[in-house]
Amino acid sequence: MALTDIRDITEEALADLISSWGEKSFRTKQIMEWLWMKQARSFDEMSNLSKDLRDKLKENFTFHSMRADLSQKSSDGTIKIGFRLDDDNFIEGVLIPTEDRMTACVSSQVGCSLSCTFCATGYLKRQRNLKHYEIFDQVALIDELAQKEYGKGLTNIVFMGMGEPLLNYKEVMTAINYITSPKGMGMSPQRLTLSTAGITKMIRKMADDGARFNLAISLHAATDEKRSAIMPINETNNLAELADSLNYFYDKTGSRITLEYCVIQDVNDSLEDGDELAAFASKVVCKVNLIEYNPIDQAEYQKSSGNRTNRFVKHLEERRVIVNLRRSRGKDIDAACGQLANKN
């Protein structure tokens, strides 16, 4: 029978087991520190435990190891990392360095089930959800890479990689807890951003659960007809419901929402589209991040021209929308927004 990953049991369950073995209670704390603060990947690393206790742990548990299987470095310094999972599945993450930030973009699922037509990951079949320790390991490994390549650790984490985080709610929230806990990585929740296509029921649950991290919404169109055409999730989570859930989130958390909007030529970049986006933005306490579209092999969409994009930005600003234009990073290695598709 396959052994359970030791990181897949609660601290309370581990404490009960340690007690049943006749070990002192402080051993549980030592093991938890090795797992989440020191990010041990083998029992042999746990040097302050007796050999007998380490052997017992080996007999009862395992580590589902993840390894960085492939990496590519962009001309702009962005690094895309392929991670090989214990069951031989494959996911991708990205390290995005800037002058003042070192950001990890991490995945939450193997593949995706949402089928957004402009996103390469949307053309992959969803194989399974990631476990919380697999999400945590991505962050830990990307942090190691940042230290090695740039001499400084991560400052920010964005859940904008493969998959829909809110369709893997429990594991994602558990991972965030370990990433932000003083007993784990100790990163400030305000340095984390979770991006969702807009699962309204789960946005409300996040608010009820006291989320302290930032929330971003992959909007990309501001009418139900247009959004449903490119994002099928809108058919069951329409814009009115989305706005209600975002206002609920803001009322509960006080955290301003970010609306993400990929600007696609002749799809959502007209001045009329700008009016529709401004109208939706007026219903929510938010800012808008416009993102350069990155073409993919699976679709014929094209990036909006510089002139049209600049006109779109100006049009939004005239309507008093807080708007930022984000330049794509890592395009030359298929590491930019919407390009993660396990091409290796």
Q: pLDDT averaged over consecutive 10-residue blocks of the chain (344 residues)?
A: 91 96 96 96 95 96 88 88 93 93 96 88 87 97 95 96 96 98 96 97 98 97 97 96 98 97 94 97 97 84 91 96 81 50 49
Helices (H), the chain: 11-20, 26-32, 51-60, 132-150, 169-180, 200-208, 224-230, 239-253, 271-281, 306-318
Question: Cα angle vertex 344, ends 122, 303, to 5°?
Answer: 50
Q: How far apart are CA 99 and CA 46, in angstroms?
A: 36
Report yes or no: 308 and 316 within 8 Å, Cβ to Cβ: no
Kindly list the catalytic residues.
92, 337
CB-CB neighbours of 300 under 10 Å:
8
Location of structure tokens 């959800």: 129
The pTM of this model reads 0.92
| Rounded distance between C-alpha atoms, residue 32 and residue 27, angstroms | 9
pLDDT at 344: 46
Predicted pLDDT of residue 338: 46
Distance CA 19, CA 25 (A): 6
Asked if 228 and 234 touch (Cβ cutoff 8 Å), the reply is yes
Distance CA(266)–CA(306), nearest Å, equals: 13
